[in-house]
Amino acid sequence: MNNTPADRSSEPLLQVQDLQVTFKTDLADVRAVRGVSFDVYPGETVGIVGESGSGKSVTNLALMGLVPKPPGRIDGGQVWYDGQNLLELDDRSMQSIRGHKIAMIFQDPMTALNPLMTVGQQLTEMTRLHLGLSKSAANDQAADMLELVGISNAKKRLRDYPHQFSGGMRQRVMIAMALSCQPDLLIADEPTTALDVTIQAQILELLRELQEKRGTSIIMITHDLGVVAEICDRVLVMYAGQVVEKAEVKELFANPQHPYTKGLLRSLPRFDQVTDSLYAIPGQPPDLGNLPAGCAFRDRCDVSVEQCSQEAPELYSLHDGRLVSCFVAKEEASNA
């Protein structure tokens, strides 16, 4: 768990309220994000967990203003940062926030860097734009950043092209790039998924170290609960475009409330038990282009009740600030 306690007494850095994103496809309108809300406080790391297609990446692309339009469309909601709603900003103001105040690193470091430009060009591009550095100052700063993320011989490597770096090294370059303007918030979209396990650990370690040094808030998008346990303070569990559970990391692992979260935790490999096979949540996620009424998880749920097929549960507040979107969990909590 994180060593630096996040300062949650102050104002949140970023507030996402009731975000809704739809993709228009040939067959149907796919409601990728259906009313997601959460806050990010200065210095904390928020994890967003869910399987592919749960809307976690789209949520974050939306708050960066990077949802491809068309086919994407923001149907509603607000994203408050620094007193302004990011969803309503014009292109120019949004550009001055992107990369400068809110930066992002992507899943696949192999493709996220421009193969035709040197790493130096790609690093300095941003600082020259946002910080107005001169060419030589930007170069010096870029070399410092590379050293900071643990790339040796930095000055020389600035002249190299991305294909001359290994996968892990490229992700370090991405991190250096993302942090080079000292952003308030870093969105990391599955930064370790495409990497070897040992490299994964190094990258997470690096992120944690850098956060300590700089106090940057991080949104960590992942489908890997191991990563969450490693680095996050709080966690949102997303399913079918909605947040189904929100909790402190320790509490989530100790006492999951939503049946989906329970399923996720059960499907983790355990070294303290001998089993032949891993648990898998039965069934498939619902078709977001054609959602049935009621709870989206109902068909895969082993505790579902009559009510689940009639109405969709809201995000109910339980004891000590935990939120869960499940009738059964709410019932149990109130009985306890």
Partner 1 sequence: MMTDSNRETLERILAESKGIHGVSLWQDAWRRLRRNKTAMISLVFLILLAVMAFITPLLPLQSPIDKDLNNRRFLPPNLQAVVMGSRADLKFEGGTLTGEMAKFDKMIVALQEDAAQTGDADEQQKIAESIQSRMEVEHPFNQLWNELDPLSWKMTEIRIAVFGDYSIPSVFGTDKLGRDLLARVFWGARVSLIVGVIAALVSLIIGVSYGAIAGYFGGHIDAAMMRLVDVLYSVPFFFVVIFLLTFLGEPDVKAWFDSVGVDQIMVFYITIGAIYWLTMSRVVRGQVLALRHEQFIEAAQTIGASPPRIIFRHLVPNVMGVVIVYLTLTIPSVMLFEAFLSFLGMGVAPPDVSWGLLLNDGIEALSIIKIFWWVVLFPGAALAFTLFALNFLGDGLRDALDPRMKNRD
Partner 2 sequence: MRDLAGYILKRGLWMVLTLWVVYSISFALMRSVPGNPFSSERGMPPAIELQMKARYNLDAPIMQQYVDILKGIVFRGDMGWSYKLEDYSVNQVIAEGFPVSASLAIFALVFALILGITAGVISAVYRRTPADTALMMAAVLGIAVPNFVIASIAILLFVFMLQLFPAAGWGTLSQIALPALCLGMPIAAYIARLTRTGMLETMTKDHVRTAFAKGLPRHKVITRHVLPGALLPVVSYLGPAVARVLTGSVVLEKIFALPGMGSHFINAALQRDYTVAMGMVLIYTVLLFVMNTLVDITYSIIDPRVKLQ
For the segment 14-33, give every residue that binds partner 1 (CB under 8 A).
26
Query: Nearest to residue 64, comparing CAs of 32, 28, 16?
Result: 16
113 binds partner 2 (CB under 8 A): yes
In 10 A of CB 20, how many CB atoms? 17
Which residue lies nearer to partner 2 by CB, 34 or 98? 98
Length of the chain, in residues? 336
| Per-residue contact string for residues 148-187; x = within reach of partner 1 by CB under 8 A | ----------------------------------------
Residues 214-243, one symbol each (x = binds partner 2 by CB under 8 A, - = not), give: ------------------------------
Q: Where are the beta strands (DSSP E) in the chain?
A: 14-24, 29-40, 45-49, 72-81, 84-85, 102-105, 185-189, 217-222, 234-239, 242-248, 316-317, 323-324
CA atoms within 13 A on the CB side of 116: 0
Residues within window 15-54 making contact with partner 2, judged by CB under 8 A = none
**Is the Cβ of residue 28 or residue 312 nearer to partner 1 in the bound state?**
28
Is the Cβ of residue 198 or residue 284 nearer to partner 1 in the bound state?
284
Amino acid at 80: W
38 binds, among partner 2, partner 1, none (CB under 5 to 8 A by kind): none
Contact present, 113 and 173 (Cβ < 8 Å)? yes
Question: Nearest 5 degrees, angle CA 320-CA 323-CA 325?
Answer: 150
Phi and psi dihedrals of 12, rounded to 5? -65, 150
Query: Burial code of 71-82, b = ≥16 C-beta within 10 A, e = fewer?
Result: ebebeebebbbe
Tell which positions 222-251 bind partner 1, by CB under 8 A. none
Contact region with partner 2 (CB under 8 A), list: 125-133, 145-153, 290-298, 313-321: 125-133
Q: Which of 10, 25, 85, 111 binds partner 2 (CB under 8 A)?
A: 111
- Residues in binding contact with partner 2, number by CB under 8 A: 30
To the nearest whole angstrom, how small is the minimum distance from the Cβ of residue 220 to partner 2? 16
**Helical spans, DSSP H, in 131-193:** 135-148, 154-157, 167-179
Binding map of partner 2 across residues 81-110, x = CB under 8 A, - = no contact: ----------xx-xxxxxxx--xx-x-x--
Among 40, 63, 64, 329, binds partner 2 (CB under 8 A): 64
Q: How near is the Cβ of 104 to partner 1 at its closest, in Å?
A: 22
Is 75 in contact with 18 (CB distance < 8 Å)?
no
Could you give the string, one character per residue 267-296, with x where binding to partner 1 holds by CB under 8 A and - elsewhere? ---------xx--x-xxx------------
What's the closest the beta carbon of residue 276 comes to partner 1, in angstroms? 6
DSSP state of 297: T
Query: Which of 291, 329, 248, 260 minimizes the C-alpha distance to 44?
Result: 248
Whichever of 181 and 243 has its CB closer to partner 2, that residue is 181
Please report, as ranges, the residues that interact with partner 2 according to CB under 8 A.
64, 66, 91-92, 94-100, 103-104, 106, 108, 111-117, 125-126, 129-130, 161, 163, 174, 177
